[in-house]
């Protein structure tokens, strides 16, 4: 069992978080267009709430999220392939909802990677619609919302 610590990311974590994005097996094949060339920058970390889950024993990165504060939107959510199924995603969502609640937010929007929709529904999000295809995402994406 992994003991997980969730802590704020800082500018020095940007490359580590970017590497996790690019290592994600969920974005292979057709979905690679979503992350192709994407880099999480220190500026992004400074502007948004970015929190990361690490193994308490060795500081190994297990996952992270990026929450845009206004309007509230879960912009990024990644769990390392080897940490999936261990509850890390649920812990990150619980942490995100706690932080949103502390900030006085009443709901958080999610535009989901299509294969991740089931996860968000299982952890309490409700589907609210579908985002039409975009330049980097030439397929429909589920839109969901968490009540805070």
CATH code assigned at 88: 3.40.630.30
Q: How confident is the model at residue 83 (pLDDT cuts 50, 70, 90)?
A: very high
Provide mean pLDDT across the span 1-24: 96
Instruction: Note whether residue 112 is domain-resident.
Output: no
Q: How confident is the model at residue 82 (pLDDT cuts 50, 70, 90)?
A: very high
0.85 surpassed by pTM: yes
Query: What is the C-alpha separation between 5 and 81, in angstroms, rounded?
Result: 18
Query: What is the C-alpha separation between 8 and 65, in angstroms, rounded?
Result: 10
Domain count for the chain, please give it. 1
DSSP string of 19-63?
Answer: HHHHH-GGGSGGGGGGTTT----HHHHHHSEEEEEEETTT--EEE
Instruction: Note whether residue 89 is domain-resident.
Output: yes
Q: Please give the distance of CA 23 from its chain centroid, rounded to a whole number.
A: 14
């Amino acid at each position: 069992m992994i003991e997980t610590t969730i802590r704020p990311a800082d500018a020095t974590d940007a490359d580590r978080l970017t590497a996790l994005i690019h290592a994600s097996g969920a974005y292979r094949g057709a979905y690679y267009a979503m992350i192709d060339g994407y880099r999480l920058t220190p500026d992004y970390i400074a502007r948004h709430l970015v929190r990361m889950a690490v193994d308490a024993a060795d500081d190994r990165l297990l996952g992270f999220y990026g929450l845009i504060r206004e309007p509230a939107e879960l912009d990024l959510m990644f769990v390392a392939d080897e940490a999936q199924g261990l509850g890390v995603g649920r812990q990150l969502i619980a942490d995100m909802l706690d932080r949103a609640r502390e900030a006085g937010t009443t709901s958080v929007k999610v535009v989901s990677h299509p294969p991740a929709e089931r996860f968000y529904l299982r952890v309490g999000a409700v589907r609210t619609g579908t985002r039409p295809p975009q330049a980097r995402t030439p397929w429909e994406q589920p839109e969901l919302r968490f009540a805070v």
